[in-house]
């Protein structure tokens, strides 16, 4: 699978760990940065880069890491066709794939240990979208008009 990855300074170390494990598992990873935990950077720059890659089909999925995962999730969800989810447990990762067809995983670099983050990532990558009644609901997420 081709995966776009990005992080700010707070998520750099966890991103590096997960990217290494993704590559070892045979995935192709496009790393949009940042290149260091030493310099403070603006997380939206990396969140937009990864979300654009997923939205335009350059990558099948995206991985974003910041301190809490929340900021990156907000940025990514501004892009049409992107469904980003901030996951703290494998169960959340499974449900966001099964029911929401999430295509960008956001992780909390300051809150998750590398092994826990990897378990979340593995479940997220392996879980299929159920479709069926959920497909209609996912289509409503991307609807351009307000739904009442």
Is 134 catalytic? The answer is: no
Active-site choice (66, 73, 87, 106): 66
Q: Confirm if 42 and 66 have CB atoms less than 8 A apart.
A: no
Is 27 catalytic? The answer is: no
Sign of CA dihedral 61, 65, 66, 70: positive
Active-site choice (9, 48, 79, 99): 99
Closest CA to 87 of 120, 44, 42: 120
| Strand ranges for the chain from DSSP E | 2-7, 28-31, 61-66, 84-86, 104-108
Residues identified as active-site: 66, 99
């Amino acid at each position: 699978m081709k995966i776009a990855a990005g992080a700010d300074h707070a998520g750099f170390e966890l991103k590096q760990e997960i990217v290494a494990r993704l590559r070892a598992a045979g995935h192709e990873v496009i790393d949009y940065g940042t290149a260091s935990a030493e310099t403070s950077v603006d997380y939206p720059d990396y969140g937009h880069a990864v979300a654009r890659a997923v939205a335009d089909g350059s990558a099948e999925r995206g991985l974003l890491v910041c301190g809490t995962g929340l900021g990156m999730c907000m940025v990514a969800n501004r892009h049409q066709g992107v469904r980003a989810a901030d996951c703290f447990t494998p169960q959340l990762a499974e449900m966001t794939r099964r029911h929401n067809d999430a295509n960008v995983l956001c992780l909390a670099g300051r809150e998750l240990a590398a092994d826990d983050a990897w378990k979340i990532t593995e479940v997220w990558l392996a879980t299929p979208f159920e479709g069926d009644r959920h497909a209609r609901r996912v289509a409503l997420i991307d609807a351009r008009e307000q739904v009442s």
